[in-house]
Amino acid sequence: MTHQPLAIAPHVLDELRERDDAGAVSRAHVNDMDGAPLRCCLRRSRAGERISLVSYAPLRRWAAEVGAHPGAYDEVGPVFIHTGPCQGPDPESGYPFAETGARRVFRRYDAKGWITGGTLVQLPADPVQAQTVVEQALHTAFSDPHVALVHVRAVEYGCFHYEVRRP
């Protein structure tokens, strides 16, 4: 795995658990089934876990960190997180949320936080092949020297899954 998928940082998770990026107070619930894509540990939820659905502005937070000004490209969307601290992602698990055979968009941003393009990918159902397709999409994105980061999103709901920064 050449590119490192980034989960939401622990200090940001602490903020989101109090008040999300849309200004709403976080509400926890016990998940009654498996499958919600958790952005805190980059895995799917399990039945019985306490999770929250919060609004998150990944580009806004990155821009504040690096001094960029994404302007109209800033957006806020829903993400699932554990209600309390978790172990975070397993760095050996490969690219998250690539096991479903779903469609993903790899949205590219430059150092100003402006969109420089994107790639639509249909992930194969085979997990090994899906990991290869994700790696190829990221390699292609970062072959453009203007790309500073890539957001991987679900196509159907537009949900942010994770961020990858230039290696």
pLDDT one-digit tens code per residue, 62-85: 999 999 999 999 999 999 999 999
Q: What is the mean pLDDT of residues 26-36?
A: 88
Residues 6 or more apart from 48 whose CB is under 8 A from it? 30, 31
Supply the pLDDT for residue 149. Answer: 97
pTM for this one?
Answer: 0.93
pLDDT at residue 31, as a whole number: 83
pLDDT value of position 16: 97
pLDDT digits (tens, 9 = 90+) for 38-66: 999 999 999 999 999 999 999 999 999 99
Instruction: Say how far apart CA 160 and CA 104 lie, in whole Å.
Output: 10
The tokens for 59 are: 């580009």
pLDDT of residue 124: 96
Residue 105: HSE in the Cβ half-sphere, 13 Å Cα cutoff: 14
**Between the CA of residue 21 and those of 13, 58, 60, 164, what are the distances in Å?**
11, 9, 9, 20
Average pLDDT, the chain: 94
Confidence of residue 114 (pLDDT cuts 50, 70, 90): very high
**The pLDDT value given to residue 33:** 85
Kindly write down the DSSP assignment for every residue of 21-70, as one continuous string: TTSPBP-EEE--SS--EETTTTEE--TT-EEEEEEE-HHHHHHHHHT---
| pLDDT for residue 20 | 97
The pLDDT of residue 146 is: 97
Over the stretch 5-24, which tens digit does the pLDDT of each residue have? 999 999 999 999 999 999 99
Tell me what pLDDT residue 92 has: 85
Q: Is the pLDDT of residue 1 over 90?
A: no
pLDDT in the model for residue 81: 97
| Cα-trace Rg, the chain | 15
